[in-house]
Amino acid sequence: MRDIDPDDMHPDFLKAIEKLCGNSDYVRGHLPRYMHTLRHMPTPSQFKDEQTRVLEIGTSFIFPPILLDLFKYSKVDVTHFLPGDKRVELQIPVPNDGRLLTAYNINLEEEALPVPDAQYDMVLFMEVIEHMERDPMHIMCEINRVLKDDGFIYITTPNSTSGRNVVKILNGFAPHFFMQYSKTKSLYRHNIEYDPRQVKAMLEAAGFRMLRFWTADNFEPKVPEILEKLESWGYSTANRGDNILGIAQKVGPPKERFPREIYF
């Protein structure tokens, strides 16, 4: 685990996450990522409508209360995968917080989101697409559909071409982050870990134009020595952080259902 970057430190964000999650090992391990993601979060003032709505795909219940309380978004809905009804109301898991979130229980690779077109100003798609097993462009097209014109998607996913993965390859190890099988036979493993070129291709195919695109070392400490070696060998050092982040704007309907960078 790496330390939180000083530039990402925000006392209110940290306090809110600690209130939500206490001493959860998972959350502690991902604090640098949460803090970096929140630092770059779009604000309601960037959208035309006064009543701003956000959808988080695959919620961990960390972002919704922060978006409501600190960013002052009007409404946040989420997707989940609980058995039962396709639409349920879930309580925010914070002591003495009785607020309910609308949650849609769907298979993200097969089913449509059960909402009308053009409902949301922003969709958060954080650390989810790497879990898609068969058809990631299905949900990308659905995200386009439920976003308002000019709405934003904020996507993050591990970077398969990070500097740290280059080190792994040079030392004879597979450049995977979380693609091992689980002893419990859990399906939560990563199915594909993408490179920056593929993420850009998916966003463009789904009808978005990039507003910001970058990588950051949000999972493990930086490895500046490998960047020096790559540069000395004549290779690019761009986008070598272990986490890919992109904020893109809807500019039209999806352009390509099966981009060749992703599908065969």
- Ranges of each domain in the chain: 46-250
Q: For residue 77, give the nearest of 94, 50, 57, 47 by alpha carbon.
A: 57
Per-residue pLDDT at 101? 94
Structure tokens at 30: 């991902």
DSSP strand pairing (53-56 vs 120-126): parallel
Report the C-alpha gap between 68 and 133 in whole angstroms: 32
Report the C-alpha gap between 87 and 103 in whole angstroms: 6
Per-residue pLDDT at 9? 94
- So what's the architecture of 46-250 in CATH? 3-Layer(aba) Sandwich (3.40)
Structure tokens at 139: 């949900």
Per-residue pLDDT at 10? 94
Report the C-alpha gap between 262 and 205 in whole angstroms: 11
CA 230 distance to own-chain centroid = 28
> Averaged in consecutive runs of 10 residues, what is the pLDDT profile of the chain (264 residues)?
88 90 76 96 97 96 95 97 86 83 95 97 98 97 99 98 96 90 86 98 99 97 96 98 99 98 98
Nearest-5° angle of CA 62, CA 64, CA 189?
50
Backbone angles phi, psi at 27, to 5 degrees: -65, -40
Encode burial over 137-154: b for 16+ CB neighbours within 10 A, e otherwise.
bbbbbbbbbbbbeebbbb
Per-residue pLDDT at 25? 76
Per-residue pLDDT at 1? 62
Per-residue pLDDT at 92? 86
Nearest-5° angle of CA 53, CA 256, CA 77?
15
Per-residue pLDDT at 232? 98
Q: For residue 258, give the nearest of 109, 144, 137 by alpha carbon.
A: 137
Structure tokens at 162: 């990070």
Q: For tokens 């981009």, what's the residue?
A: 259
Report the C-alpha gap between 34 and 221 in whole angstroms: 15
